[in-house]
Amino acid sequence: MSAPEEQSPEIVETPRGPASPCVLVIFGGSGDLAQRKLIPALYNLAEEGLLPEQFAILGVGSTDLGDHGYRERIESNIPGYLTTECDPQRWRWFAERLHYVQADLEDGEAYKALASRLEEVSGTFRTGARFLFYLATPPGFFQTIVERLGAAGLTREDRGWRRVVIEKPFGHDLESARALNAAIEAVLDESQVFRIDHYLGKETVQNLLVFRFANGIFEPIWNRFYVDHVQITVAETVGVEGRGRYYDRAGALRDMVPNHLLQLLSLTAMEPPNSFDADVVRDEKAKILQAIQPIGEEQVLHQAVRGQYGAGEIEGLGAAPGYREEPEVAPQSPTETFAAMKLLIDNWRWAGIPFYLRTGKRMPKRVTEIAIQFKRAPHVLFRGTGVHHLPPNQLLVRIAPEESISMRFGAKVPGPGLRMGNVEMDFAYANYFGATPATGYETLLYDAMNGEAILFQRADSVELGWQVIQPILDVWGALTPRTFPNYPAGSWGPWEADELLAQDGRAWRKC
Ligand code: BG6
């Protein structure tokens, strides 16, 4: 029952104008993230008329490049990363706003040079003294940059707003996340801090709020009386993609769960906020994280499963080496590339309803989805008909590869006699709104420029996320896994992950 191609939705719109004038300072300006995501996203915003005339970009990096060299570098790399056709006139407008300053990020003096460069650029482009600092650097620099910016007077808001966007990973565990928050709070007010979780830039993730709270029909059944359980899957076919050095220290649990998966969980499970004010929404999300039942260390073995891929084959991609054969990964690495867990939420809406989470690299398919499985209908109506098994209804929120929402229900198979089949009612974004040529960072950048914090993580949520997984980190850290590698690349993870649900009489959805 897919919607036919090119449906025209009835749009209820709040008009959007260009973002606030500012200079966007990108630390790590010539790095991977800036080139692959941030610059293309900014270009897309320019294409949509969402960047103001009074706007400039200042890349900061250790490479010796002048403005000219920076523009040249971006110009030669950008075509591979742009998601839209490059319009030469628009590009000229954009390119003349690109600047660069070389800096040793540890060196306090460099921030004085940065301050004077900012005076000059903001004067030329009449941005006022509004600066958005984007930390697209390795995490080891986050604290230093914030402290040095503060010491150079660049975070004071007396002449214009000053904001700092911080990428993930935010800390390595609960203790380091707390320490990083404390160091940041010593320099900045929370309203100046924008902690990124790029999952919140995804349309379907944002749509979860609209889907749940702008439609009256789902909320009455969105609770323990109707929902049997929830499954959240983030499966990737890729391995560590040249990031072995980072990943081998992080692992699947740290890399994906306290941030991306718990964001999905909190948006799925939160109570309706009484407004769309950023703090009101973030309060509700934080309450859900607080309500997650703490996993005692002795429960970790029953509620959490880890895995590491060995060599295998992925359909469509071919043979894949084992994790321990990846570059910059230790030959006997104990790092997990797969993590699954069962979480319970101690509140009235969800008491007793399990949320099963799983994420892994080198899975058979790339899939990110939230499946809400409803309780089975009572059987009575079909007595004596031969229909012995009523499959449960399922609501599926797909985030990748395609963005869609679908409802699975039973329908009568045409013809004499009573036979039932499972059918799906589908809403696919692309059918209604066309494919959006976006990197996923457009909304996040636009919102940060406008000081809209709803899609960013507050200090408390980041710490709560770590708090949820800390017991698992502790137990896994203390017990060396003896069975690694325990799943072949191209499979759905170790058998213990199936067992995790089987012990509750359930099974993972076949994605
Ligand atoms: C990143 C992780 O945060 O998210 C990566 O560090 C992971 O390991 C990526 O591959 C997944 O993002 P997406 O948008 O491709 O689902």
CATH of residue 90's domain is 3.40.50.720
Does residue 1 surpass a pLDDT of 60?
Answer: no
**What local confidence, expressed as pLDDT, does residue 43 receive?**
95
**Two tokens at 97?**
């706003």
Range of the domain at 304: 202-436+481-502
Cβ-contact 302, 451 below 8 angstroms: no
Same domain assignment for residues 150 and 281: no
Same domain assignment for residues 143 and 276: no
Q: Does residue 368 have its Cβ closer than 6 Å to ligand 1?
A: yes
DSSP letter assigned to residue 109: H
Place 79 in a pLDDT band, splitting at 50, 70 and 90: confident
Rounded Cα gap, residues 325 and 303, in angstroms: 29
Lowest mean pLDDT among 6-15, 65-74, 204-213: 6-15
Cβ-contact 196, 169 below 8 angstroms: no
Neighbours of 218 (CB within 10 A): 14
Length of the chain: 511
Place 10 in a pLDDT band, splitting at 50, 70 and 90: confident
Tens-place pLDDT, residues 275-315: 989 999 999 999 999 999 999 999 999 999 999 999 999 99
CA–CA–CA angle 166, 176, 231 (5° rounding): 75
Q: Averaged over 206-230, what is the pLDDT?
A: 94
**Two tokens at 342?**
């069962």
Task: Indicate the Cα dihedral angle 370, 375, 377, 380, nearest 10°.
Answer: 150
Place 378 in a pLDDT band, splitting at 50, 70 and 90: confident
**What local confidence, expressed as pLDDT, does residue 3 receive?**
46
Cβ-contact 192, 177 below 8 angstroms: no
Which residue among 256, 259, 462 is best mutated to probe the pocket of ligand 1, counting the most ligand atoms within 8 A of its Cβ? 256
Could you tell me if residue 342 is inside a domain?
Answer: yes
Q: Averaged over 245-274, what is the pLDDT?
A: 96
Lowest mean pLDDT among 41-55, 380-394, 461-475: 380-394
**Two tokens at 210?**
């609209």
Q: How far away, in angstroms, is 28 Cα from ligand 1 center?
A: 19
CATH of the domain at 252: 3.30.360.10
How many structural domains does the chain have?
2
> Of 124, 144, 167, which residue sits at a domain end?
167
Distances (CA, A) of 389 to 219, 378, 380: 27, 10, 11
Neighbours of 334 (CB within 10 A): 17
Q: Averaged over 178-190, what is the pLDDT?
A: 98
Q: How far away, in angstroms, is 259 Cα from ligand 1 center?
A: 10
Same domain assignment for residues 284 and 431: yes
Neighbours of 95 (CB within 10 A): 16
Strands 355-360 and 394-400: unpaired
Place 430 in a pLDDT band, splitting at 50, 70 and 90: confident
Atom of ligand 1 nearest to the CA of 368: 16
Could you tell me if residue 9 is inside a domain?
Answer: no
Which residue among 200, 249, 255 is best mutated to probe the pocket of ligand 1, counting the most ligand atoms within 8 A of its Cβ? 255
Question: How high does pLDDT run on average in the chain?
Answer: 93
Residue closest by Cα to atom 10 of ligand 1: 236
Atom of ligand 1 nearest to the CA of 247: 8
**What local confidence, expressed as pLDDT, does residue 11 receive?**
67
Q: How far away, in angstroms, is 205 Cα from ligand 1 center?
A: 14
Rounded Cα gap, residues 285 and 281, in angstroms: 6
Q: How far away, in angstroms, is 199 Cα from ligand 1 center?
A: 9
Q: How far away, in angstroms, is 139 Cα from ligand 1 center?
A: 16
Q: How far away, in angstroms, is 484 Cα from ligand 1 center?
A: 23
**Is the sign of the CA dihedral 146, 151, 153, 158 positive or negative?**
positive
Could you tell me if residue 34 is inside a domain?
Answer: yes
The reply to whether 99 belongs to the active site is no
Could you tell me if residue 445 is inside a domain?
Answer: no
Residues 6+ apart with CB under 8 A from 50: 16, 17, 18, 19, 442, 446
**What local confidence, expressed as pLDDT, does residue 2 receive?**
46
Same domain assignment for residues 30 and 162: yes
Q: Does residue 236 have its Cβ closer than 6 Å to ligand 1?
A: yes
Q: Averaged over 480-498, what is the pLDDT?
A: 97
**What local confidence, expressed as pLDDT, does residue 377 receive?**
80
Q: Does residue 400 have its Cβ closer than 6 Å to ligand 1?
A: yes
Q: Which residue has the tokens 């996923």?
A: 440
Rounded Cα gap, residues 221 and 244, in angstroms: 44
Same domain assignment for residues 259 and 395: yes
Could you tell me if residue 413 is inside a domain?
Answer: yes
Same domain assignment for residues 150 and 217: no
Under DSSP, is residue 204 helix (H, G, I), strand (E, B) or coil? helix
Same domain assignment for residues 288 and 161: no
Which residue among 166, 200, 234, 236 is best mutated to probe the pocket of ligand 1, counting the most ligand atoms within 8 A of its Cβ? 236
Same domain assignment for residues 266 and 394: yes
Residue closest by Cα to atom 5 of ligand 1: 255
Could you tell me if residue 58 is inside a domain?
Answer: yes
Rg, C-alpha atoms of the chain = 24
Place 15 in a pLDDT band, splitting at 50, 70 and 90: low
Q: Does residue 255 have its Cβ closer than 6 Å to ligand 1?
A: yes
**What local confidence, expressed as pLDDT, does residue 381 receive?**
65
Q: Chain centroid to CA 411: how far? A: 35
Could you tell me if residue 376 is inside a domain?
Answer: yes
End-to-end CA distance of the chain: 19
Place 5 in a pLDDT band, splitting at 50, 70 and 90: low
Place 177 in a pLDDT band, splitting at 50, 70 and 90: very high
Residue closest by Cα to atom 13 of ligand 1: 199
Residue closest by Cα to atom 8 of ligand 1: 255
Atom of ligand 1 nearest to the CA of 234: 16
Could you tell me if residue 175 is inside a domain?
Answer: no
Residue closest by Cα to atom 14 of ligand 1: 199
Out of 99, 172, 260, 302, the active site residue is 260
Rounded Cα gap, residues 91 and 262, in angstroms: 38
- Please give the full DSSP string across 111-148, using - where no structure is assigned: HHHHHHHHHHHHHHTT--S-EEEEE-S-GGGHHHHHHH
